Copies of this chain bind each other. A is one copy, B any other.
């Protein structure tokens, strides 16, 4: 059980873009370098994040990526599911009766359902302005 590389890079990319000054775009190369992500893999991830309307892409020599909506409207869940599809910690977590021969009698699935609910709700409650907030708090404390 581990966050996939794909989801990790997707979060890093959106994190990177969320920190840019308003109106500024980030190129694939800039994100790849800043976040230590392989360029080809990152390009596919950025395309997918654009398709699910988390990012907006601009063509041309001064093109690049920016957020498609405000950072506080983009949750970790949006980003992870945007590149991975619906999260399912175990095969039975999305209440699909045909998923497993043991489904009807297995008592373990209630545990997994609770983990699934808790994890997805944590991801849904964390938004990409976390950093803005963290910095505001840090500045206020100085």
List A residues at the B interface (Cβ < 8 Å): 1-4, 7-8, 11-12, 15, 35-36, 76, 80, 84, 87-91, 100-102, 107-108, 111-112, 114-115, 118-119, 122, 126, 130-131, 134
Contact = CB atoms under 8 A, between A and B. Distances in A.
A102 B12 contact: yes
Nearest to A34: B102
Pairs A-B, 9 closest by C-beta atoms? A3-B90, A36-B101, A107-B131, A107-B134, A1-B3, A111-B126, A3-B89, A115-B122, A2-B89
A101 B36 CA distance: 8
A76 B107 CA distance: 13
Nearest to A126: B111
